[in-house]
Structure 1
Amino acid sequence: MRSCPPPWSFRGHAIHCLRRSPARPLGPAILLVHGFGASTDHWRHNIPVLAEHHEVHAIDLLGFGRSAKPAGPEYGGALWRDQLCAYVQERIGRPTVLVGNSLGGFAALAAGAALGDQAAGVVLLNAAGPFSDEQIPPAGWGAIARRTIGGALLRSPVLQRLLFENLRRPSTIRRTLRQVYVDRTNVDEELVEAIRRPSLDPGAFGVFRTVFDIPRGQPLDELFAQLEAPLLLLWGIRDPWINAAGRRAAFQRHAPAATSEVVLEAGHCPHDEVPDQVNRALLAWLAALPAAQTPPTVGMPADPRPDAAPVL
């Protein structure tokens, strides 16, 4: 994987990004967006295959991976949406398919809706984010008290530090991954270390603390209503974190009528768990997009530097 030439910054903060492309890429560019706690290397099994025929970019969201982890920004969907929009406009410069997993799926959808005709498509893999009817506050004094007391405990700096130290232990990372991968073949030391390494960066704990205050963001149904680009939903249907089967039904109620769907026997991160199946489905969908076989006339030159070390 090659670093993006030259280094890119967003609002004055250094952003880690990758670009791979054949000499004559087909169709729109592709931008891959990781989920919470992950980074560009979670696409380790996808980038080489997709880049055989397409211009492929991957980016670390601000606060994650090798990107900066500043204390100032208000982390959340609006920030990451703006980061992706800026990257497409400043670094890619042509219509782009945004592909996102989990939190990255929400950011990709929000950016796709904001980019208008600069978004050639959006692909969501077990995307996070609320629907309007899920943002209704709990009813009754008991429910309010439980949420208030629980929130107060989770905002304790001491408890947050204990949680952070535990969550970044290799054994905890490995155990968590094994909970959300049905086929655990790719839960390997490379993946565990790639997730652990960024947690050692200065500022990592500060970013982690903001998790408890991240705004929920614009509801998914509103974003679907604004989206003009084709949409592909790729489901790891055995995802234990988001009740994928029930969530799929909610997406079917709100997503645009022309939406395509692929359901896979996988967990929360199907792109890394069953990458061959995801790559086939994504390439088939890309081939059916308008002007999919047309080489681009605008784009960045290939990066001549040696491959960068793998990161997540």
Structure 2
Amino acid sequence: MTLKTQQRFKSESGLAYFKTGAGSPIVLIHGVGLRAEAWLNQVPVLSEHHTVYAIDMPGHGESDLLANTAAGLDEYVDLIATWIQTEIKEPVIMMGHSMGSMIALNFAARYSDICCGVAALNSVYRRSLQAKQAVRQRALDLIENPDLGNVTTPILRWFDVNPKGFEKQMADLCEQWLLAAPAKGYARAYQIFSQNDGPKDEALASLEMPAIFITGDGDANSSGDMSKRMAALCPDGDYAVIEHSRHMVQMTHPDEINPLLVKFVKQCCIKIRNQL
């Protein structure tokens, strides 16, 4: 399957994004190796009543690589926060997938004055020792072999072993994006992803806003138990586990994901109105 690339805007800081719709803003952040179009199945629904901004993570898609080679998660978040403050200029509902969820949760905790809700899809929290070793080895392999010639391994982790029909179309799209991903941007982001083990408990406890954690029941590295534990630490947290799905749940299961996100957005908007 081939998907038309959306026309991008680009901020002075080098962050590329596309936007559509009208209304209060929602920001979407994809995972490592992908691009803004990873939210292709959510954008039409969410933009019915909101302005949706889908960004290319730094070093991905058309976004510039951060000049600071030692940049970590905080620097990725700071760049996005500055873009929101200068170009959107109002609080946002933040949604992230995989590493994008790490960014979204970090943003919600550190920039709570401009975040009115956070949705974290397929997010990690306190990996097992075996999982830590595996993800760090993958990060090391990418640093040492940045040509990204073999994308079979992530596709096998993210989708069914033999995807068919709609899931096969989504897997083919991801494979195209991985093959086209800028090698340095992918490797740097994956290194940061491997070094972070989910938000601190006190950060989750500080979230005075609606928060939802969603994952697939077949995603061993971002399990339902992880989502449940994170939600329990949030003052206004909820979680959902989508049956018969794996890591790319927003792409493969939009019929289950989209109603959850629409309901969540309405919850955020109601809370905002009640605070006025």
* TM-score scaled by length of structure 1: 0.71
Contact 1:287 1:293 in 2 (8 A): no
| Other-structure match for 2:11 | 8
Shift of 1:213: 9.4
Shift of 1:56: 0.2
Distance 1:212 1:96 in 2: 24
Percent identity of paired positions between Structure 1 and Structure 2: 22
* 1:134-183 alpha-carbon deviations (Å, 9 max, x no partner): 8xxx8xxxx9xxx7xx98x88978x8434x44x44354554444358987
Shift of 1:19: 0.7
Tell me how many residue pairs correspond in the alignment.
262
Distance 1:115 1:194 in 2: 30
Distance 2:229 2:156 in 1: 29
Contact 2:102 2:199 in 1 (8 A): no
Cα gap change, 1:171 to 1:290, in 2 (>3 Å): closer
Q: Which amino acid aligns with 1:108?
A: A
Contact 1:40 1:58 in 2 (8 A): yes
Q: Which amino acid aligns with 2:175?
A: V
Among 287, 291, 309, the residue aligned to 2:266: 287
4+ residue segments displaced more than 6 Å? 153-157, 180-183
Among 57, 60, 63, the residue aligned to 1:67: 63
For structure 1, which runs of at least 5 residues remain unmatched after alignment? 295-312
Distance 1:155 1:32 in 2: 24
| Other-structure match for 2:251 | 272
Contact 2:109 2:203 in 1 (8 A): yes
* 1:89-123 alpha-carbon deviations (Å, 9 max, x no partner): 11211121000111111110111112223211000
Contact 1:71 1:206 in 2 (8 A): no
Q: Does 1:19 align with 2:19?
A: yes
Shift of 1:36: 1.6
Q: Relative to total residues, which structure has the larger helix share, 1 or 2?
A: 2
Distance 1:111 1:62 in 2: 15
Taking the TM superposition and a 5 Å limit, the aligned residue runs for 1:69-218 are: 69-70=65-66, 72-130=68-126, 160-162=143-145, 164-165=146-147, 167-172=148-153, 174-178=155-159, 184-199=167-182, 203-204=184-185, 207=188, 211=191, 215-216=195-196
Among 36, 39, 51, the residue aligned to 1:40: 36
* 1:244-269 alpha-carbon deviations (Å, 9 max, x no partner): 1331342244222x212222112112
Shift of 1:186: 3.7
| Other-structure match for 1:236 | 216
* TM-score scaled by length of structure 2: 0.79
Larger Rg computed on CA atoms: 1
Contact 2:124 2:197 in 1 (8 A): no
RMSD, matched Cα: 3.4
Cα gap change, 1:262 to 1:216, in 2 (>3 Å): closer
Cα gap change, 1:102 to 1:204, in 2 (>3 Å): closer
Distance 1:226 1:180 in 2: 39
Cα gap change, 1:290 to 1:205, in 2 (>3 Å): closer
For structure 2, which runs of at least 5 residues remain unmatched after alignment? 1-5
